[in-house]
Structure 1
Amino acid sequence: MTTADPRSTAITRQTSTAARLVHISRPVLWINTIGTGALGMWLTGQLIDVAAIPLLVWLTLPFNLLIYGVNDIFDQETDALNARKGGVEGARIEQREVKLIAWAVAITNIPFLIYFVLALPIAAVGLIVLYSAVFVFYSAPPLRFKARPFLDSLSNAAYGLPLLIMPVALGAPPVWPAVIGLLAWSVAKHAYDAVQDIEEDREAGITTTAVLLGARGTALWSGAWWLASSVLFALVSIPVAAVNIAIAGTLVVWMLLRPTPATGRRLYPVSVAFPYVAGSVASGLLLAAMFLGVYP
């Protein structure tokens, strides 16, 4: 009979823990942070800026673990009712994991925040603190924006902040139509994605924008914000605006035709793909312009 190697057992346990934390950070949604950060860097006219690398690294696992780890800690009641949790769309945690997640969020984020305070302009640090605080208090009391209709959707405009944080950190002028357009885009997407959770949120006693407005009303709310974002994007790039209005229009019209949470669940993969497609078009055009020497 062989005895398990303690070192091998410890490594296996650590690997399993790391994999669990990565799962909680929802890698399929990292595009919303790292993708936006990279685009913000390219909009400064730099293909790669060494000063931006710590920010880009922070926008991968650390910041997404902060967003979704905190969310999972405070959403255990609704997540337990949600059949889509437990897969790529989000973890379903157990109470015994709360301490691990809290420590992991602190350990992966605090060193970056200390570095940013020491290395970046004060305005960039202020934006980073705002960016972090909005997502913490989206889920955490006493503010808990998630349970406040309209504030839940409006607070998610923060997903667009890397387009502002990056140029401010690098000493470059922000491209304001792109920044404001992405803020508006993020408001729309949050509300739209919440339609699929209307029944679970209502059962848990949480009134989100989607619960308050219903599927049809939320489609109109999101459609208005997506239309505003398309107008703003058009000031920077007509092709990007066209892609944005085409995908957003499809999502909104489909929801208006069949305004139910089930439609939201069926369309969620399209919504997840939305930033990948629109971001790829925007990034491709921007990188091509940089390569040809016509940007900035």
Structure 2
Amino acid sequence: MKLTLKEGFFISRPRFWMYVLGTFLVGVISSGNIFLYDNSTTFLLIAFGIFFSLPANVLIYGVNDIYDYQTDIFNDKKIKYESVLSLEKHKSLWYFIFFLIIPFLPLIFSINIPAVIALFVFLFTGVFYSATPIRAKSKPPLDVLFSAIIYVSPALVGFFITGNTNISWPAVLAALIWAFGMQTYSAVPDIIADRKAGVNTLATVLGEKKALFFCFAAYLISASIGYLYIGFISIVFGFIYCAIVLLSIYNFSKLFKYYTYFPLINVSAGAVLFFYLFFKEIL
């Protein structure tokens, strides 16, 4: 059974595109004034910007859908909020993934070694977060670590492509810790389904409340480190994320409702961060 283009598009989770495309753009702008790059660098940035839209998201979420099928059929969140791709279409999905990814692979010969390493780290974690034999998502704490790297590594790709290798690693650490919280929070609504399917995650190991307190701590630490770089903005969004987690702890029945707000909050936070860095660099 063939996969339709519409199905392929929605497998990429368009509402989540900015999780990797957005971090790529933040990495680009944090490396310097984008108007000062030569034509070759500009071309590469545009090409990889396209890659981190549909192709990269089809890769990470398509592989996830294939290897999570046995879990997803028990998951109310997946059935009601997203969709479960029929088993007969998995082969077509593999072809769709390769069709989108392969045209970008020759670009690795045009970028520097740090960017190549960051790109392969993204590809490795993006595939083996869900795929066997590693299947990191079922081996805590690798589930949280791999997921965080998936969403942070595009920023490193963007940063290094510009030729700037003078990166601030504490800022990268803050982003990873923030992603720890994001991954764990998104896994809490899946706890029941994951336990039914015998899938271990950090959330299933900790349980609902401890997992949410872990999220709270992650957002608090991330915001504290972020304050050193973006000041008041980090405190504002740290407060927002911590507040949502506290609401989830003390009003657990509405957790899934709060979860559906996260794409909007994340995109808003990313946009504010991008434009803050943009005007900081060009002014």
- 1:25: which partner in 2? 12
- 2:159: which partner in 1? 167
CA offset digits 1:162-209 (Å, max 9, x no partner): 222212122113243432211111111000111111111111111211
Q: Is the 8 Å Cα contact of residues 121 and 153 (structure 2) preserved in structure 1? A: no
Q: Distance in 1 between matches of 2:113 and 2:103?
A: 17
For residue 278 of structure 1, report the CA deviation from its aligned partner: 1.0
- 1:40: which partner in 2? 27
Moved more, 89-98 or 61-70: 89-98
Q: SS where residue 73 of structure 2 aligns? A: helix
TM-score, normalised relative to structure 1: 0.87
Q: Distance in 1 between matches of 2:123 and 2:173?
A: 19
**The one of 243, 247, 257 aligned to 2:250:** 257
User: RMSD value over aligned CA atoms?
Assistant: 1.9
Moved more, 248-257 or 22-31: 248-257
For residue 289 of structure 1, report the CA deviation from its aligned partner: 2.5
TM-score, normalised relative to structure 2: 0.91
Question: How many equivalent residue pairs?
Answer: 275
**The one of 91, 94, 100 aligned to 1:102:** 94
Question: Where in structure 2 are there 5+ consecutive unaligned residues?
Answer: 36-41
Question: Where in structure 1 are there 5+ consecutive unaligned residues?
Answer: 1-13
CA offset digits 1:47-106 (Å, max 9, x no partner): 36333111111000100000000000011111112223256x533101111111101111
Which structure is larger by alpha-carbon Rg, 1 or 2?
1
Aligned letter for 1:281? V
The percent identity for this pair of structures is: 30
**The one of 259, 273, 278 aligned to 2:264:** 273
- 1:129: which partner in 2? 120
Higher relative contact order (CA 8 A, sep 6+): 2
For residue 149 of structure 1, report the CA deviation from its aligned partner: 2.1
Aligned letter for 2:64? N
- 1:209: which partner in 2? 202
Q: Distance in 2 between matches of 1:264 and 1:114?
A: 43
- 1:3: which partner in 2? none
Q: Distance in 2 between matches of 1:121 and 1:284?
A: 26
**The one of 189, 200, 207 aligned to 2:193:** 200
Q: Is the 8 Å Cα contact of residues 184 and 226 (structure 1) preserved in structure 2? A: yes
Q: Distance in 1 between matches of 2:132 and 2:255?
A: 27
Q: Distance in 2 between matches of 1:175 and 1:274?
A: 25
Moved more, 267-276 or 29-38: 267-276
